[in-house]
Structure 1
Amino acid sequence: MDLGRGKVKYLLIEKHIRNLIDKSEIRDGEKLPTIRQLAQLLKVNNVTIVNAYKSLQNKGYAVSKMGSGTYAKKRDTNKNFNREYSRALKKIFSNKIGNYIDFTGEMASGEFFQINFFKDVLNEVLDRDGSEALIYQEPLGYEGLRRSISDIFWKGSVNAEDILIISGAQQGIDVVSKAILNTYDSVVVEKPTYSGALSVFKSRRSDIFEIPIEKNGVNVDKLEKILQKNNIKCFYTMSYFQNPSGISYNDEKKKQILRLAEIYNFYIIEDDYLSELIYDSDIKYNSFKSLDQNDRVIYIKSFSKIFLPGIRIGYLIPPRKFRENIQNSKINTDIATSSLMQRALDLYIRKGMWKDYIDMLNIKYRDMYMYMEKCIVKYLKGKVDFIKPGGGLHFYLKIKDNIKMDSITLFKEARHRGVLITPGSLYYKNPLEGKKYFKIAFSHVCRENIKKGIQILSDLITV
Structure 2
Amino acid sequence: MFTYGTAQGLPSLLHVLIRHLADYQVFTRPEHLMVTSGVQQALAILTTMPFPSGRDTVLLEQPSYHLFVRLLNCYGIPARGITRTEKGIDLNELEQLFQTGSIKLFYTIPRFHNPLGTSYTEDTKKAIAGLAKRYDVYIIEDDYLADLETNSKSDPIFAYGPSHVIYLKSYSKILFPGLRVGVAVLPHSLQPIFSSYKQLSDIDSAMLSQAALEIYIQSGMFERRKQRIVATYHNRMLQLNRALALYNDLDDIRPVPVQSGVHTHILLPDELQIPTLLNRLGKQQIVLKALDDSYLDGFAVRPMLKLSITQVREEQIEEGVSRIFDEIKRMRGMRTRR
Counterpart residue number, 2:137: 266
Counterpart residue number, 2:282: 415
The 3 A distance-change label for structure 1 pair 440 and 431 is: farther
The 3-state SS of whatever aligns with 2:147 is coil
How many residue pairs end up in the alignment?
326
1:358 to 201, 215, 226: 226
Counterpart residue number, 1:249: 120
Per-residue CA shift, 1:302-349, capped at 9, x if unaligned? 111222111111111111111111112122112222212211211211
The 3-state SS of whatever aligns with 2:15 is helix
The 3-state SS of whatever aligns with 1:461 is helix
1:187 and 1:235 in contact (8 A); partners too: yes
> Matched residues in 2 for 1:450 and 1:432: separation?
32
Counterpart residue number, 1:290: 159
The 3-state SS of whatever aligns with 1:423 is coil
2:117 and 2:258 in contact (8 A); partners too: yes
The 3 A distance-change label for structure 1 pair 180 and 381 is: farther
Within 5 Å, which residues of 2 pair with 1:143-222? 143-154=11-22, 157-180=27-50, 185-215=56-86, 217-222=88-93
CA RMSD of aligned residues (A): 2.3
> Matched residues in 1 for 2:305 and 2:277: separation?
9
Letter of the aligned partner of 1:357 in structure 2? R
The 3-state SS of whatever aligns with 2:326 is helix
2:141 and 2:165 in contact (8 A); partners too: yes
Give me the TM-score of the superposition, normalised by structure 2.
0.89
Counterpart residue number, 2:149: 278
The 3 A distance-change label for structure 1 pair 183 and 417 is: farther
2:281 and 2:287 in contact (8 A); partners too: yes
1:183 and 1:204 in contact (8 A); partners too: no
Q: Which moved more, 1:389-398 or 1:222-231?
A: 222-231
> Matched residues in 1 for 2:27 and 2:170: separation?
19
Within 5 Å, which residues of 2 pair with 1:236-385? 236-279=107-150, 281=151, 284-293=153-162, 295-382=163-250, 384-385=253-254
Give the superposition deviation at 1:216: 5.4
The 3-state SS of whatever aligns with 1:217 is coil
> Matched residues in 1 for 2:187 and 2:75: separation?
21
2:234 and 2:259 in contact (8 A); partners too: no
Counterpart residue number, 1:446: 313
> Matched residues in 1 for 2:253 and 2:298: separation?
19
Letter of the aligned partner of 1:453 in structure 2? G
> Matched residues in 2 for 1:432 and 1:459: separation?
31
Give the superposition deviation at 1:400: 3.3
> Matched residues in 2 for 1:184 and 1:198: separation?
19
1:184 and 1:207 in contact (8 A); partners too: no
Counterpart residue number, 1:30: none
Give the superposition deviation at 1:147: 0.8
The 3 A distance-change label for structure 1 pair 363 and 184 is: same
The 3-state SS of whatever aligns with 1:276 is helix
Within 5 Å, which residues of 2 pair with 1:42-61? none
> Matched residues in 2 for 1:138 and 1:387: separation?
44
1:425 and 1:432 in contact (8 A); partners too: no
Give the superposition deviation at 1:421: 0.6
Give the superposition deviation at 1:398: 1.1
Max Rg structure: 1
Letter of the aligned partner of 1:166 in structure 2? T
Give the superposition deviation at 1:423: 0.6
> Matched residues in 2 for 1:284 and 1:443: separation?
25
Q: Flag structure 2 segments of 5+ consecutive residues without an equivalent.
A: 333-338
Give the superposition deviation at 1:136: 4.7
Give the superposition deviation at 1:431: 7.2
Counterpart residue number, 2:106: 235
> Matched residues in 1 for 2:298 and 2:172: separation?
28
Instruction: Report percent identity of matched pairs.
Output: 26
Give me the TM-score of the superposition, normalised by structure 1.
0.66
Letter of the aligned partner of 1:208 in structure 2? A
> Matched residues in 2 for 1:255 and 1:311: separation?
33
Counterpart residue number, 1:405: 272
